């Protein structure tokens, strides 16, 4: 079967900036998408939150445009945003073709000339914004600390995935301006970036514009690669009391890193186990037994390591012990017999539909420009789309069953019970109470 492709051209400037261009003349817009190969994994214990802080600082102004990044582009009709995770930081704009010069000039100015505009006052203001964001999105949100507790238990203290991307509040408060400046000099330069232009643009013209705006920026030193390993040798049961109404259980296992052998099989496992009303756990927990209100699963594929996550919220009056017993029975069945061919077909079809859906947009999170950068940064090959899709199309029942047996074992997992405050007995037996700050 002929696989889909995502056509592009790639050129690397003399300063080591990777430039990728994808033509799509259906609509007179261009997506500008830039990835910096830096995330919270590039920080150190006690010095966390730097990468996420720059997600904010990069929108506050640079030397030749010393004010907010949003207004000039929005006035031209652009959409724009950015995000940070453990492994990368990205910024994107989708602009009318006529505004492409403006977008490239502004991106190049904050890449090359952010530090002259990074004042003590601006740094402290955005640091306070981040602390407030942490309070809103984690501390004051039901179940908001759960994933912090899970990753802290899955990965040891010196592992780059141990701490949350937003950073710890103590570390954020302890930041100093010169440390922040040094972090920028290390990671935010052409030699650690990948720029994609996708849309209504001729490739030759696109490369000419990128050379004009970015070609004279210095490359900067190539950051050292981060390496780390993690493993579990037993089941760890944890208890977190929170301001919630219903108990919820989280289960997590170490799993293959992004694009590694077994990664695609774990994605398919997540779909057939708990995503959609026909999935095994939804049908059993929610529809038939009615012991859970919801259930979900995901393969969290990251650059250094992955983890597989199952989450279920107890229905009123139902116990986490019963929910976990049902989950364990289903996991055992899956390990012994593997998925059915009908389950495989459904999971493959859902995955392929997601691949095709992402091809419908050129910009934003997950659009074609974002995909090209992801493949370039993590694989060194923007043309990995067809090979990526083939991993799922070629997956077999035996392969998925083997992945389940290899990964989803009871003796190497973290199980977290999140229960209403003052109701610790609702947690699974043998759970150790944890605190998250």
Q: For residue 114, tell me if it sits in a domain.
A: yes
Are 308 and 408 in contact by the 8 Å Cβ rule? The answer is yes
329-369 pLDDT, tens digit each: 999 999 999 999 999 999 999 999 999 999 999 999 999 99
What is the arithmetic mean of pLDDT over 283-295?
97
Q: For residue 229, tell me if it sits in a domain.
A: no
User: Closest by alpha carbon to 224, among 13, 36, 18, 42?
Assistant: 42
**This prediction's pTM:** 0.95
Query: Is residue 145 over pLDDT 60?
Result: yes
Q: What percent of the chain has pLDDT over 70?
A: 99
Are residues 242 and 152 both part of a single domain?
no
179-196 pLDDT, tens digit each: 999 999 999 999 999 999
Q: For residue 2, tell me if it sits in a domain.
A: no
Q: For residue 405, tell me if it sits in a domain.
A: yes
Are residues 319 and 406 both part of a single domain?
yes
Q: For residue 155, tell me if it sits in a domain.
A: yes
Are residues 265 and 156 both part of a single domain?
no
Three-class SS state of 124: helix
Q: For residue 363, tell me if it sits in a domain.
A: yes
Query: Is residue 3 over pLDDT 60?
Result: no
Query: Is residue 168 over pLDDT 70?
Result: yes
Are residues 255 and 205 both part of a single domain?
no
Q: At what angle do helices 100-113 and 203-214 cross, to 10 degrees?
A: 30
Q: At what angle do helices 385-393 and 341-358 cross, to 10 degrees?
A: 160
Are residues 200 and 240 both part of a single domain?
no
Three-class SS state of 65: strand
Q: What CATH number should be reported for the domain holding residue 275?
A: 3.30.830.10
pLDDT in the model for residue 436: 81
Are residues 173 and 268 both part of a single domain?
no
Share of the chain residues as helix, strand and coil, in percent rounded to the nearest 5: 45, 20, 35
Q: For residue 317, tell me if it sits in a domain.
A: yes
Query: What are the tokens at 268?
Result: 């398919």
Query: What are the tokens at 375?
Result: 């493949």
Are residues 190 and 272 both part of a single domain?
no
Burial of 187 (0-12, 13-18, 19+ CB in 10 A): buried
Q: For residue 221, tell me if it sits in a domain.
A: no
Are residues 327 and 393 both part of a single domain?
yes
- Whole-number Å distance between alpha carbons of 144 and 301: 21
Three-class SS state of 229: coil
Are residues 114 and 168 both part of a single domain?
yes
pLDDT in the model for residue 237: 98
Q: How confident is the model at residue 126 (pLDDT cuts 50, 70, 90)?
A: very high
pLDDT in the model for residue 435: 83
Query: Is residue 73 over pLDDT 50?
Result: yes
Domain boundary among 179, 214, 249: 214
| Residue whose tokens read 């009303």 | 277
- Range of the structural domain that residue 250 is part of: 236-433
What is the arithmetic mean of pLDDT over 102-115?
98
Query: What are the tokens at 262?
Result: 């077994």
Are residues 409 and 265 both part of a single domain?
yes
Are residues 54 and 106 both part of a single domain?
yes
Report the domain count for the chain. 2
Are residues 165 and 292 both part of a single domain?
no
Which residues does residue 307 pair with via DSSP β-bridges, in sequence order? 254, 300
């Amino acid at each position: 079967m002929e696989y889909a492709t995502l056509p592009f051209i790639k050129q690397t400037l003399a300063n080591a900036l990777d430039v990728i261009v994808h033509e799509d003349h259906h609509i007179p817009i261009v997506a500008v998408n830039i990835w910096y190969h830096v995330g919270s994994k590039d920080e150190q214990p006690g010095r966390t939150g730097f990468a996420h802080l720059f997600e904010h600082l990069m929108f506050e102004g640079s030397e030749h445009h010393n004010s907010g990044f949003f207004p000039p582009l929005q006035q031209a009709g652009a959409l724009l945003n950015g995000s940070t995770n453990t492994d990368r930081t990205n910024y994107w704009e989708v602009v009318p073709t006529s505004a492409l010069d403006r977008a490239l000039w502004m991106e190049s100015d904050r890449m090359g000339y952010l530090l002259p505009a990074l004042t003590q006052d601006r740094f402290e203001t955005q640091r306070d914004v981040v602390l407030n964001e942490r309070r809103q999105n984690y501390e004051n949100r039901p179940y908001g600390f759960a994933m912090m507790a899970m990753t802290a238990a899955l990965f040891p203290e010196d592992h780059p995935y141990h701490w949350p991307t937003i950073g710890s509040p103590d570390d954020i408060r302890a930041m100093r301006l010169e440390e922040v400046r040094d972090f920028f000099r290390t990671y935010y330069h052409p030699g650690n970036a990948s720029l994609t232009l996708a849309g209504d643009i001729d490739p030759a013209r696109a490369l000419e514009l990128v050379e004009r705006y970015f070609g004279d920026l210095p490359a900067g030193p190539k950051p050292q690669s981060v390496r780390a390993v993690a493993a579990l040798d037993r089941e760890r049961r944890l208890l977190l009391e929170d301001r919630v109404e219903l108990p919820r259980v989280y289960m997590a296992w170490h799993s293959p890193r992004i694009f590694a052998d077994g990664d695609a099989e774990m994605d398919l496992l997540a779909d057939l186990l708990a995503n959609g009303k026909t999935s095994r756990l939804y049908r059993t927990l929610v529809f038939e037994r009615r012991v859970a209100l919801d259930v979900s699963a995901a393969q969290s594929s990251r650059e250094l390591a992955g983890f597989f996550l199952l989450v279920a919220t107890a229905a009123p009056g139902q116990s986490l012990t019963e929910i976990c017993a049902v989950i364990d029975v289903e996991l055992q069945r899956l390990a012994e017999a593997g998925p059915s061919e009908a389950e495989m077909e459904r999971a493959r079809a859902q995955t392929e539909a997601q691949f095709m859906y992402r091809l419908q947009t050129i910009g934003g999170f997950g659009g074609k420009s974002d995909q090209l950068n992801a493949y370039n940064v993590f694989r060194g090959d923007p043309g990995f789309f067809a090979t990526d899709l083939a991993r799922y199309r070629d997956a077999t029942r035996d392969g998925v069953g083997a992945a389940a047996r290899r990964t989803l074992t009871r003796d190497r997992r973290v199980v977290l019970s999140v229960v209403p405050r003052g109701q610790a007995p609702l947690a699974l037996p043998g759970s150790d109470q944890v605190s998250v700050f």
